[in-house]
Amino acid sequence: MNNNIITLHYDIDGTNFTIAGQASSNIKKVLKQLGVDPAIIRRTAISMYEGEINTVIHGKGGVADIYISPDQIRIVFTDHGPGIADIEKAMQEGFSTASAEARELGFGAGMGLPNMKKYADALNIESTPGEGTTVELIINIHS
Amino acid sequence: MTLLEMAGQLQLKTIHCTEEGVSVTGCYIGDLLSLVMSRAQEGQAWLTVQTNINIIAVAVLTGVSCVIVTEGMEIPEETAQKAAEQGVSLFHSEKPSYQLACELVALL
């Protein structure tokens, strides 16, 4: 194992939209301090923010664990929400099960997962309906 | 063009201005935050009718030069506070986004 890994952990409050974005903003700062390429920081920030929002809207809260190594950024979101019944369908742009409240705030357009797939180098989703969802994002620093 | 010059020329109301000397490089109009996240570019002025607190997170993450709330939409106090806290420049205008964008582009 590489011992040059920075590990960060964030709790994501499932009832508070106003806190969403805080973990992503912090990660953006950390990556800037580490001198990571701005294009990679942007891809990480976008995909991570979408993950945070999903954890609030759909997961009813959860945690985000971030592992930054010299080669890659790995972000794992874990929630104990309702789970995703049909992952393939959830991946389709425009498909959304978000609440009216989320839509009013400018979310819920069915772009969260597609954006994450677009901006991360790898996206892995594991979900069990009724138990929760784990979403892993990997962004390579050196491709 | 700097934020200060832009705010003056477009007669924007300043809610919070972090660095008046920051350059505005262009303009992006959008109200769907996921779309804004993926399309808005660093340095652009982001014009939106969204006023909820999440616009500040989107501004931080995209690195836009400022957020301009258009159409005279009322900005909640918590959004203004968050802008100050996060160092995001936030302006307000009574004009529609398209009109303001046309005026802004003519200045660049």
pLDDT in tens, A30-62: 999 999 999 999 999 999 999 999 999 999 999
Overall domain count for chain A: 1
Looking at the partner chain, which of B52, B56, B63 has a beta carbon nearest the beta carbon of A105? Answer: B52
pLDDT at B54: 92
Instruction: Quick: pLDDT tens for A82-141.
Output: 999 999 999 999 999 998 888 888 888 899 999 999 999 999 999 999 999 999 999 999
CATH number of the CATH domain containing A61: 3.30.565.10
3-state secondary structure A6-41: EEEEEEEECCCHHHCCHHHHHHHHHHHHCCCCHHHH
The number of C-beta contacts closer than 8 angstroms across A and B is: 70
Query: Within a domain: residue A70?
Result: yes
Asked whether the beta carbons of residue A18 and residue B54 sit closer than 8 angstroms, the reply is yes
What are the backbone dihedrals phi and psi of residue B79, each rounded to the nearest 5 degrees, phi first?
-70, -45
Reported as a pLDDT band with limits 50, 70 and 90, residue A143 is: low
- Nearest-Cα distance to chain A for B10, in Å, is 26
Query: Within a domain: residue A1?
Result: no
Q: Which domains does chain B carry? A: 3-107 (3.40.1390.20)
CA-to-CA distance for B35 and A84, rounded, in angstroms?
23
pLDDT at A2: 57
Instruction: Identify the three-state secondary structure at position B11.
Output: coil
More confident residue, A107 or A66: A66
Residue A128: CB atoms within 10 A of its CB come to 10
